[in-house]
């Protein structure tokens, strides 16, 4: 497994080349690359793409979806050069020959957090028992519908089952799409929501209550891989290498990733 924290010699050289292009402004190798990315990375990718385009001279088009939806798109033949999604999804795509085998890089991980309407009282989720009490006392909760393939929704559903409170929570649980998740909490329709911390921090109408406590936290690792049918593999590899640069990693940390 390749990780951003441990770059190979070739990756280090590639980073140097990308940074060199900032000074030269070279567009001789300019390419258009398409990225399919998990929505959890949306805030960081949106911040990083302009810097990469300026430094490398390439154009990047991005489409977002849940980790499962992104994998489904590329499985169905959606044209793309890079897929950035959860590690299990990338591994599956590699096994299917859709993503280049042995060429994926883990770029970040992020945990699940609880959120509330802007300015609202924050529930205590600092321990397992506090989390259970807050859930049972809540009027309503929401999280992404697990059927949509989002990692946070799948995990929260399994967590409630594991803690033995799924039956009590079912009548007051609203499963959401990415479009309705934050709106339902921001307008007071739902009291507490759950999603990945990076996405919560990017929303201006809600407040992060807290990440889940360590003992019941679930981190999703995100990896990038090059689509085997890509005609821009070289430029795609430059972008993945850029995501491993100190500058990009600092932005990812600022956006809520570890």
Under 8 Å between Cβ of 144 and 112: no
pLDDT band for position 1 (50/70/90)?
Answer: low
Residues with Cβ within 8 Å of 158's Cβ and at least 6 positions away in sequence, in order, are: none
Q: What phi and psi values does residue 79 have, to the nearest 5 degrees?
A: -65, 130
Residue 161 CB neighbours (<10 A)? 12
Confidence of residue 179 (pLDDT cuts 50, 70, 90): confident
Classify domain 2-108+222-254 at the CATH class level.
alpha beta
Token pair listed for 240: 């993945």
Provide CB contacts within 8 A for 172, sequence distance 6+: 138, 139, 140, 141
Which part of the chain has CATH 3.40.190.10? 2-108+222-254, 112-216
Residue whose entry in the numeric block shows the structure tokens 């060429």: 103
pTM: 0.76
The superfamily (CATH) of domain 112-216 is Periplasmic binding protein-like II (3.40.190.10)
> What does the pLDDT look like over 137-169, one tens digit per residue?
999 999 999 998 888 999 999 999 999 999 999
For the chain, give the number of residues. Answer: 258
Distance CA 143, CA 160 (A): 12
Q: What's the CA gap between 226 and 150, in Å, rounded? A: 21
């Amino acid at each position: 497994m390749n990780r951003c924290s441990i770059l190979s010699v070739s990756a280090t050289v590639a980073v140097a080349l990308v940074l060199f292009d900032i000074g030269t402004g070279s567009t001789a190798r300019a390419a258009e690359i398409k990225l399919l990315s998990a929505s959890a990375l949306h805030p960081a990718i949106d911040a990083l793409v302009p810097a990469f385009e300026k430094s490398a001279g390439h154009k990047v088009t991005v489409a977002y979806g849940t980790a499962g939806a992104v994998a489904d798109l590329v499985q169905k033949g959606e044209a793309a050069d890079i897929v950035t999604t959860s590690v299990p999804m990338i591994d599956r795509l590699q096994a299917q020959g859709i993503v280049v085998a042995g060429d994926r890089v883990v770029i970040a991980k992020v945990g699940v957090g609880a959120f509330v309407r802007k300015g609202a009282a924050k529930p205590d989720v600092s321990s397992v028992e506090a989390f259970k009490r807050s859930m049972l006392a809540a009027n309503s909760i929401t999280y992404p519908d697990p059927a949509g393939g989002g990692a946070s929704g799948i995990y929260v559903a399994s967590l409630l089952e594991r803690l033995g409170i799924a039956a009590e929570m079912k009548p007051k649980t609203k499963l959401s799409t990415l479009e309705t998740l934050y709106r339902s909490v921001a307008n007071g329709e739902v009291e507490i929501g759950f999603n990945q911390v990076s996405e919560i921090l990017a929303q201006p109408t809600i407040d992060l209550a807290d990440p889940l406590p360590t003992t019941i936290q679930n981190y999703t690792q995100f990896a990038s891989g090059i689509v085997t049918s890509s005609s821009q593999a070289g430029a795609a590899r430059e972008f993945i290498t850029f995501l491993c640069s100190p500058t990009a990693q600092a932005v990812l940390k600022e956006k809520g990733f570890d």
